[in-house]
Structure 1
Amino acid sequence: MNRAATACLSLSLVISGLLTSGVAHADEDFGNGKGDVKEEGGGDKTGIYAAAQVKYTGAVTKSGGSGNVSSADVNWDPPPCWYAPAYGAKEFKKKMSGEIKDAKNTPGMAGHAGAAINELQRHYEDDYGWTDTPGYKDYNVEKDGEGMFWAGVENPNEPDALKRMSCSDIPFWVDNGEPPPPQYEEAITPEMLAALAYQHMELPGTKVTLAPEGTTKVNLPTWAWLDKAVFDDVKATAAINVPGFNLEATTTATPKSLTLNPGTKDATTIPADGECPIVDGKIGEPYAKGKADKTPPCGIIYRRSSGGDTYPLKASLTWEITWQGTGQANPVGMPNGTIEAVQDITVEEIQSINR
């Protein structure tokens, strides 16, 4: 490892090991010199890494947790972390100076940590830097209001701790209106915000209306349909808005089809693949008197009794997902999303009288 890489690693270890706040979560407050901004449903934590929060609006969870939509692409994931604008120069200097002073006075931190702390101070105070990590004069206070220091943000809904903490570079300066340096590939983008909106999206439930409802008969067609209210588009927006930096993306979900899994091999789905498409703005057709001898456009025929138990009928509603955002005028496709619901179905034998 060369000297620059070693020095960068030392600074990263100092910040992650000595500063009590650690890398920010997306639900923490952040400072921008103009007051605090809180994510919807977020907490009240602050710290040196308390980076710009993502604010969610629309059909999203209120608690900051993941929504109820699952990606149909098992290889698709929202970003585990990202870099975002965190502090104005004067506020960053105030925060850094206080944290470094506290770190120096922490019991057991003298000696081996001292040199790295001094490098950290030199980096932001005395223009001590490297080829792709330039230093700063007095925390860039002369440029206060002309840009912001960016820092790493953890996605609290990412289960892999190593992925969450992978945006571990020390804070860096970005002028207003300028892109972050190219080496920061995880810098926040509209597409990343769209993925976060997708992750937080709450879609309406998928309870299927059945006829007969709850209890049906062997070889009797069970009609299935969804209430038309389910078919409205659902929108969720994720945005970061701080002085000199505004980025947002809106993710839109549009219902596409309903897939029925009868919960037993002894059943026939209608259509044969179990996927009921949207036709004329609806899925399936409500049962009405006089249709007993007709085949439903969406439904199930159970071929065997549930034997006093029930079959778990699983209904999966597939949604087409697109996004639009800053710099992206036309909708861009994302992996389809699905939500599932299970309903217990009792299947009885048809009783007949022998004469």
Structure 2
Amino acid sequence: MSASLATGTAHAETGFGGSRGGNGAGGSKGRTITSQVTFDTSKNGSGGSTGTLAPVGNYDPPACWYEPQWTPEEYEKEFERRWNVGHFSGAAEAYAADKSRYIEGDPYKNFNKDKSGEGMFWGTVYDWKRLEGDDYLACSQADFWVDNGDDPPVENAIDAETLAKLAYNEVQVPNTEVTLAPEGTSKVNLPTWAWLDKADFHEVSVTAALNVGGWNLSATTTARPKSLKLEPGTADATTFPASGECTINADDSIGAPYTRGKTDETPPCGITYLRSSGGNTYKLKATVTWEITWKASNGEAGTLPNGTFGNDQDVIVQEIQSINR
């Protein structure tokens, strides 16, 4: 299958030179830098019944980072664009500072045009959906030059793990609708079997890549189903196993299908309701935990916090008077 590439949606608000956050030189509030990161979603969950993972525990994806943005020639145009604004308080001093930094040799002479093809200027990208409070201060460094092959001289420069986290944000997993038997209507004191078939429930992955100038790196984040948790929707129920957490089988399925003759058996994954739903329904919540790993094109690899995704299913439970336990 060919890759499905989508442009990154994170942006950077650009106060020029050493000033950022929209109140700096150039009066550039509201201007944005689009991330150069692209996403291959060809192996992602698809269809109308997918959802976004909710990370388990303390997970803090980047709200900002630095990445390569401009050649010397492109940066000259960017410089002119940013300064093509109306007057504002302190404009002359701020322009003089930026002119000194990028044109007059402190530290860059004429936008580093003598090094064209040998590197790029890096700028800040903000993910506005995750930016809170003073998070933007973590990436307040003025735009800077990096030679091809050199490590960026700042913290929060984009790297393999950052790409893996950006890919995590794009992962979509299948809807968690378990198969139940009996289907539709359960009976008081009779086990309800629950399972997820491996054919409909499989690992998904997203690859985030940054291929700009002499800087090329990608990371693939993979989500694999690990377990299914059942919450009956009432205290008058017993889950199997007792924890309600059904682990994945060797063939990547969860639970086991009900077949004729298993009425009196205990399901490996299921529920026994102890009271009728009384003409209403119980909300059975089925939540799958996904295990998250990543691997980058430079050989680095790691794990990220597990994620969960689930939904509610209506279950009708009827009383059968002839059953006494």
| TM-score computed with the length of structure 1 as normaliser | 0.79
Superposition deviation, residue 289 in structure 1? 1.2
User: 1:257-272 maps to which residues of 2 (within 5 A)?
Assistant: 257-272=227-242
Partner of 2:27: 18
Shift of 1:53: 3.1
CA distance in 2, matches of 1:199, 1:89: 32
1:214 counterpart (180, 184, 188): 184
Does residue 57 of the first structure (1) align with residue 57 of the second (2)? no
Instruction: Quote the offset at 1:60 in angstroms.
Output: 4.5
Residue 186 of structure 1 deviates from its aligned partner by 0.6
Q: 2:72 is matched with which residue: 68, 89, 114? A: 89
Report SS of the residue matched to 2:76.
helix
Aligned 1:1-355 pairs, distance under 5 A: 15=24, 18-20=27-29, 22-24=31-33, 28=34, 51-60=35-44, 68-73=52-57, 75-100=58-83, 102-103=84-85, 106=86, 108-109=87-88, 111-128=89-106, 135-158=107-130, 160=132, 162-163=134-135, 166-181=138-153, 184-281=154-251, 282-328=253-299, 331-352=301-322
Question: For residues 199 and 13 of structure 1, what CA distance do their matches in structure 2 show?
Answer: 26
Per-residue CA deviation, residues 232-277 of structure 1 (Å, 9 max, x unaligned), is 3212100100110101100111211111111111110000000111
- The answer on whether the counterparts of 2:64 and 2:125 sit within 8 Å (CA) in structure 1 is yes
CA distance in 2, matches of 1:79, 1:159: 9
For residues 93 and 333 of structure 1, what CA distance do their matches in structure 2 show?
40
- List alignment gaps of at least 5 residues for structure 1: 1-6, 29-50, 129-134
For 1:248 and 1:285, locate their aligned partners in 2 and report how far apart those are by CA, in whole Å.
38
Q: CA deviation at 1:327?
A: 2.5
What amino acid is the match of 1:220? L
- Aligned-partner SS, 1:290: coil
Distance 1:259 1:78 in 2: 26
Q: Secondary structure at the match of 2:254?
A: coil
C-alpha separation between the residues in 2 aligned to 1:291 and 1:16? 74
The RMSD of aligned alpha carbons is 2.5
Give yes or no for contact 2:217–2:298 (8 Å, CA) kept in 1.
no
Shift in Å, 1:193: 0.6
Q: Would you say the 8 A contact 1:257–1:318 is kept in 2?
A: yes
2:211 maps to amino acid? N
Structure 2 counterpart SS, 1:117: helix
Q: How big is the shift at 1:172? A: 0.4
The answer on whether the counterparts of 2:174 and 2:201 sit within 8 Å (CA) in structure 1 is: no
CA deviation profile, 1:282-310 (whole Å, cap 9, x unmatched): 21111111111111111001111122221
Q: CA deviation at 1:279?
A: 2.1
Secondary structure of the residue aligned to 1:273 is coil
CA contact (8 A) 2:53 2:309 kept: yes
Provide the rounded CA distance (Å) in 2 between the counterparts of 1:14 and 1:169: 15
Residue type of the alignment partner of 1:120: D
Q: What is the SS of the residue equivalent to 1:295?
A: coil
CA shift for structure 1 position 143: 0.9
Q: 1:52 Cα deviation (Å)?
A: 2.5
Structure 2: runs of 5 or more not aligned: 1-15
The 8 Å contact of residues 39 and 206 in structure 2, kept in 1 or not, is answered as no
Query: Following the alignment from structure 1 to structure 2, what is the Cα–Cα distance between the partners of residues 275 and 352?
Result: 31
CA contact (8 A) 2:17 2:98 kept: no
- Contact between 2:210 and 2:217, CA under 8 Å: does it hold in 1? yes
**Shift, 1:21, TM fit:** 5.1
Instruction: Report the secondary structure of 1:118's partner residue.
Output: helix
Q: Percent identity?
A: 48
What displacement does 1:161 show? Answer: 5.8
Q: Is the 8 A contact 1:268 1:300 kept in 2?
A: yes
Is the helix fraction higher in 1 or 2?
A: 1
- Counterpart code for 1:325: A
Deviation at 1:164, TM superposition (A): 5.2
Cα deviation, residue 23, structure 1 = 4.5
What TM-score comes out, normalization by structure 2 length?
0.86
CA distance in 1, matches of 2:284, 2:246: 15
**Deviation (angstroms), 1:9:** 5.2
Distance 1:303-1:271 versus aligned 2 partners, 3 A rule: same
Asked if the contact 2:25–2:91 (Cα under 8 Å) also holds between the matched residues in 1, the reply is no
Give the conservation status (yes or no) of the 8 Å contact 1:23–1:152. Answer: no
